[in-house]
């Protein structure tokens, strides 16, 4: 019996416990690929496990767990076809309000964790002439109010991804960036919980400055959960980015991401400021 190339290679998906990561692992498996799915808890892995999905405990802020993943791939012996750097968190609050520890946590997960995983797996990807997929965001091209930390981490990831693509192209490794807009995922809901906690901790003066804005941002996030792209639909684009023979350098997910990334390129800053403010204005509480 002939074995397909897909079943003879591995794809790593980080942040696969829920949302787009879990959906992407399942989509890749359905396409015949063997997936190492990074999860935070064994219970999450139990829900994902199948003939083509092997859950692996992976916190991308843990150097030991990243090293264990690299060792597992070396011991497996199959070539590493792609790494999908999907893990992420969202921490939303005004720059003045957000504690520095939360800034560091945001960057540790959304930026430094991805860099460390990529560094650890690059030797295997170079041998196989594989693919790196970086999960950025609409927030990696457009920074809305209260998204300073989140967008900062994603802007940084976009810059490094561009640099990495140019470094690795001569060596046969391709790099693709995926920029989702509104997607119905657990990350959005968890980000809302964090935003409410941070909002509740604002001083009276900060609340006067930013209370209405935080209310509007939370209402907008609830709209994402209600009206955003389904994670399983997003997973199809991510799987294409990981496996297409000739990948694009950037993929967007959702009409909002396609439209706003285009507007961010062509509109003057002040005009874009007014567009974003007008979208939030109806969501502010009535005075």
d(CA 94, CA 195): 10
> pLDDT grade, residue 2 (50/70/90)?
very low
Average pLDDT, the chain: 93
286 within a domain of the structure (yes/no): no
> pLDDT grade, residue 7 (50/70/90)?
low
Question: What pLDDT score was predicted for residue 3?
Answer: 45
> pLDDT grade, residue 151 (50/70/90)?
very high
pTM of the predicted model as reported, rounded to 2 decimal places: 0.93
Q: Are 147 and 221 in contact (CB under 8 A)?
A: no
d(CA 26, CA 30): 6
d(CA 8, CA 1): 13
53 within a domain of the structure (yes/no): yes
177 within a domain of the structure (yes/no): yes
DSSP three-state, residue 217: helix
Whole-angstrom CA distances from 109 to 80, 114, 169 are: 23, 7, 26
Q: How many residues does the chain have?
A: 287
Question: What pLDDT score was predicted for residue 187?
Answer: 72
276 within a domain of the structure (yes/no): yes
Question: What is the percent of the chain where pLDDT is above 90?
Answer: 86
d(CA 160, CA 113): 13
Catalytic residue among 147, 150, 210, 251: 150
Q: Are 24 and 92 in contact (CB under 8 A)?
A: no
Count of structural domains within the chain? 1
> pLDDT grade, residue 54 (50/70/90)?
very high
- Tell me what the mean pLDDT of segment 83-102 comes to: 95
Residue-wise pLDDT tens digits, 114-143 = 999 999 999 999 999 999 999 999 999 999
12 within a domain of the structure (yes/no): yes
Top pLDDT among 187 and 144 is at 144
**What CATH number should be reported for the domain holding residue 230?**
3.40.50.720
- Tell me what the mean pLDDT of segment 101-121 comes to: 97
- Tell me what the mean pLDDT of segment 73-88 comes to: 97
User: Considering only CA atoms, which of 86, 69, 104 is closest in space to residue 26?
Assistant: 86
Residue 211 pLDDT > 80: yes
150 is catalytic: yes
60 within a domain of the structure (yes/no): yes
> pLDDT grade, residue 4 (50/70/90)?
low
d(CA 269, CA 150): 20
User: Considering only CA atoms, which of 19, 158, 133, 31 is closest in space to residue 83?
Assistant: 133
- Tell me what the mean pLDDT of segment 252-258 comes to: 94
**Domain enclosing residue 81, as ranges:** 6-280
What sign results for the dihedral spanned by CA atoms 90, 226, 265, 95? negative
Q: Are 69 and 120 in contact (CB under 8 A)?
A: yes
13 within a domain of the structure (yes/no): yes
Question: What pLDDT score was predicted for residue 223?
Answer: 84
């Amino acid at each position: 019996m002939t074995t397909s190339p897909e079943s003879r290679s591995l794809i790593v998906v980080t942040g696969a416990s829920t949302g787009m990561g879990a959906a992407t692992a399942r989509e890749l498996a359905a396409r015949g690929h063997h997936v190492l799915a990074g999860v935070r808890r064994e219970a999450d892995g139990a829900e994902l496990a199948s003939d083509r999905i092997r859950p692996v405990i992976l916190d991308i802020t843990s150097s030991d767990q990243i090293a264990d993943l690299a060792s597992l791939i070396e011991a497996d012996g199959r070539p590493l076809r792609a790494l999908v750097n999907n893990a992420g968190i969202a921490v939303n609050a005004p720059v003045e309000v957000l504690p520095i520890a939360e800034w560091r946590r945001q960057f540790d997960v959304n930026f430094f964790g991805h860099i460390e995983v990529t560094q650890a797996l690059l030797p295997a990807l170079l041998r196989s002439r594989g693919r790196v997929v970086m999960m950025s965001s609409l927030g990696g091209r457009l920074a809305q109010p209260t998204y300073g930390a989140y967008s900062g981490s994603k802007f940084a990831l976009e810059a490094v991804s561009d640099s990495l693509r140019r470094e690795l192209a001569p060596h046969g490794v391709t790099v693709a960036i995926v920029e989702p807009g509104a997607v119905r995922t657990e990350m959005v809901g968890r980000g809302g919980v964090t935003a409410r906690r941070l909002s509740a901790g604002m001083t009276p003066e900060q609340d006067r400055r930013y209370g209405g804005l935080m209310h509007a941002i939370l209402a907008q996030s609830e709209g994402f959960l209600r009206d955003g792209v389904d994670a399983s639909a997003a997973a199809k684009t991510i799987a294409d980015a990981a496996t297409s023979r000739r990948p694009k350098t950037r993929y967007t997910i959702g009409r909002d991401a396609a439209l706003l990334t285009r507007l961010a390129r062509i509109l003057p800053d002040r005009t874009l400021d007014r567009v974003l403010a007008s979208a939030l204005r109806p969501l502010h509480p009535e005075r």
